[in-house]
A = this chain, B = another copy of it.
Amino acid sequence: MAKKTIREAINDALRQEMERDERVVVMGEDVAGGAGLDGEEDAFGGVMGVTKGLYGQFSAARVIDTPISETAIMGMAAGSAATGLRPVAELMFCDFMGVCFDQILNQAAKFRYMFGGKATTPMVVRTTYGGGLGAAAQHSQCLYGMFTAVPGIKVVVPSNAYDAKGLLIQAIRDDDPVIFFEHKTMYDLADEVPDEAYTIPFGEANILREGSDVTIVALGKMVLEAREAADKLAEDGIEAQVIDLRTTSPLDEETILESVEETGRLVVVDEANPRCSIAADVAGLVAGGAFEMLKAPVKQVTAPHAPVPFAPELENLYLPNADKIVAAAKEIAA
């Protein structure tokens, strides 16, 4: 097994699924790049370089560059999925969902129900999220909560390269619309990743660390912070159980509740703003489902109720991190 970055793992998944199934196509802005210009073909391979090389192998027929028209991209994905393709659309930044949310919220997500079960919409939207690059308010948001709220969609937020590959292959083979969130600062993170195709089922959280004093639930990049926090807490004799949600819809309620029943304490970590967040959602779940075993207030560690600031000094203050998780955990488990 070789070390691969998250970028490579995702590229792997796309390539293997495209090889396996001719209905899988990739579409988006500059997913190849260079169209209509004098320079190289496949000049970008996605602005993050994730789809690089696919164009050479599968040609413009299956690696489809588009104009800057996100509504048309999402709609094309939804319409082609409902009629026989298995599109993987790239939305460069999840923040851009603002311009095209309808095609997910009211179309792709609802076809199956509105049409009485007679439609399937096997589409995937790959998108980037999160802070840390000084990309500021319109290019740093964590909008997975907004999608999690919508029945009919599945939402994936992987935290490492192994999961990214397995979850993306699952997403492509899945017959429901899936939004796949990639943290823009994590593409170069490497991990042992099998060469062959494999899937990871949705709705199964990953227990990354056992511990009986406090449960830390996290997702995406916050899983890294949660692990670091757990190591620090261990130094002070507090053993944290770290749960990586992997998917927020479906949510593995069982694993969360069982863990809290064991530890009696919960810190939920979410890079998003606090209101109506995954953090709030999980806290609410536990307040209902594991109340009897709770020994302390549920702590939410999130970004504050503010847009993402530009200056690195502010962004550092803004983002949740291991220290904030440690502090929250100590408040309830010291």
Chain A residues engaging chain B, CB cutoff 8 angstroms: 71, 95-99, 101-106, 109-110, 113-114, 136-138, 145-146, 148-152, 249, 251, 272-273, 275-289, 291-292, 294, 296-300, 304-307, 309-310
Please indicate the chain B residues that have their CB under 8 angstroms from the CB of A291 in the complex: 294, 296-298
The answer, among B138, B149, B279, for a CB contact under 8 Å with A275, is B149
A137 with B113: in contact, given A102-B99, A284-B300, A291-B297 (CB under 8 Å)? yes
CB atoms of B281 and A275 under 8 A apart: yes
A106 with B150: in contact, given A287-B283, A288-B283 (CB under 8 Å)? no
A307–B275 Cα gap in the complex (Å)? 22
- Given A110-B307, A149-B277; 10 other pairs, CB 8 A cutoff: A98-B102, A110-B138, A113-B307, A145-B276, A149-B272, A150-B273, A151-B304, A275-B281, A281-B284, A284-B287
A151–B106 Cα gap in the complex (Å)? 24
A101–B96 Cα gap in the complex (Å)? 10
29 contacts between A and B (CB under 8 A): A95-B105, A95-B106, A96-B102, A98-B101, A98-B102, A98-B104, A99-B102, A101-B101, A106-B137, A109-B307, A113-B307, A114-B310, A146-B146, A149-B273, A149-B275, A149-B277, A151-B273, A151-B306, A152-B307, A251-B275, A276-B276, A276-B281, A283-B284, A283-B287, A284-B284, A287-B294, A288-B297, A291-B296, A291-B297
CB atoms of A275 and B148 under 8 A apart: yes
The answer, among B103, B151, B281, B306, for a CB contact under 8 Å with A280, is B281
Counted per complex, copies of this chain come to 2
Please indicate the chain B residues that have their CB under 8 angstroms from the CB of A309 in the complex: 113
CB atoms of A280 and B276 under 8 A apart: yes
A297 with B292: in contact, given A101-B98, A110-B137 (CB under 8 Å)? yes
CB atoms of B298 and A288 under 8 A apart: yes
CB atoms of B114 and A136 under 8 A apart: yes
A149–B281 Cα gap in the complex (Å)? 12
A66–B81 Cα gap in the complex (Å)? 33
A119–B294 Cα gap in the complex (Å)? 45
A151–B113 Cα gap in the complex (Å)? 32
How far is the CB of A299 from the nearest CB of chain B, in Å? 6
How far is the CB of A248 from the nearest CB of chain B, in Å? 8
Please indicate the chain B residues that have their CB under 8 angstroms from the CB of A297 in the complex: 287-289, 291-292
How far is the CB of A109 from the nearest CB of chain B, in Å? 7
